[in-house]
Amino acid sequence: MTRCIRTLKMTLTADKGILVGAIVLAAGLSAAPQGTAESQAALVKQYCVVCHNDRAKTGNLSLQNEDLSSAGDHPEVWEPVIRKLRAGMMPPPGMARPPLEKYEGLRNWLEAEIDRKAVEGRLLYAAAAGGHPPRLEAELPLVSRPGGRCLMGSSFGAVASLATAYRYPEVYGSLLVQSGSFVFTDIANNHGGGPEFEPVVRFVNRYRTAPRRVADRMFVSCGVFEPLITPNRSMVPVFESTGMAVRYVEARDGHSWENWRDRLRAGLSWIFPGPQKFYYE
């Protein structure tokens, strides 16, 4: 089972002193791991293996021989555990439980490990924010300040653009996000998506709880025939509450590259207006 990142491509263009980075398809944001694999393994052994061992195999799950140091390599094992921990269903009622701090620490640690492995070896946020702009600005006549930089993304790439700007504030002055997969669960745990949405949901939930300004200007677009139209509409006031200048555009279109192509000119023209001689194709 793969996570959010399936295909990842970053395109950087430099023209008229402006740097635009387009993350076409990407994934979520890893939280900082808490504790160590050894400490979490001791917790699992004490409270989980009593039911989830090779003999009992409660719920058709055995954690007896699972190596916590490689938890990120086995989301098919640990994602169901994370869901049970998040819902407070594991251990079951009547069984001994660790203190709340350790209980939540185990859940957060597992989430972070799986998210970290999802982005490992692909486009890292550090490369996007700390690698490309300085290198390109040293080689090309670019504006070396946030106002001259923009991150663009569609679908999962829109979430990746937001997450990159969130993790590296004051690097990119503008965001252009289209049909963002801004899936969240304000009420229940069932977000309606597959396991690849798990890190996205965790990030968007965190952002909605404590939104912050990640850029000066943000262009958001979505098609009215997309299932993502409601999440995108819901995110607009969240973005605006941070003080960012937000331009939101809807189109009678679906979740397709034609929709994103047709909105791109309007987005770039608003983010980088420039003289009238600038014309975006």
Write the DSSP assignment of the chain as a string of letters: ---S-SS--EEEEEETTEEEEEE-S----PPPP-S-HHHHHHHHHHHTTTTSSTTT-GGG---TT--GGGGGG-HHHHHHHHHHHHHT-SSPTTS----HHHHHHHHHHHHHHHHHHHHTTS--HHIIIIIHHHHHHHHS----SGGGEEEEEETHHHHHHHHHHHHSTTS-SEEEEES------SS-S--SS-GGGHHHHHHHHHHHHS-----SEEEEEEETTSTTHHHHHHHHHHHHTTT-EEEEEEES--SSHHHHHHHHHHHHHHHS---TT----
pTM of the model: 0.59
Q: What residues contact 265, with CB distance under 8 A and at least 6 apart?
A: 280, 281
Length of the chain: 281
Number of alpha carbons in the 13 Å side-chain half-sphere of residue 71:
26
Amino acid letter, residue 229: I
Amino acid found at 157 = G
Q: Which residue, among 45, 36, 79, 83, has the nearest Cα to 64 in the 3D structure?
A: 45
Pairwise CA distance, residues 176 & 258, whole Å: 16
The pLDDT of residue 52 = 93
* pLDDT score, position 188: 53
What is the structure's pLDDT at 63? Answer: 92
pLDDT score recorded for residue 278: 54
How many Cα atoms within 13 Å fall on the side-chain side of residue 69? 1
Nearest to 251 by CA among 215, 217, 225, 280: 225
In angstroms, rounded to a whole number, what is the distance separating the alpha carbons of residues 7 and 27? 10
Q: Give CA–CA dist 179/164, Å, rounded.
A: 17
Low-confidence ranges of the chain (pLDDT < 70): 1-34, 115-137, 186-194, 274-281
Q: Which domains does the chain have, with CATH numbers?
A: 10-26+123-271 (3.40.50.1820), 37-119 (no CATH)
Residue 242 near residue 235 (C-beta atoms within 8 A): no
Question: What span, in angstroms and rounded, lies between the C-alpha atoms of 156 and 134?
Answer: 25
252 burial via Cβ count (<10 Å: 0-12, 13-18, 19+): exposed
- Report pLDDT for 12: 42
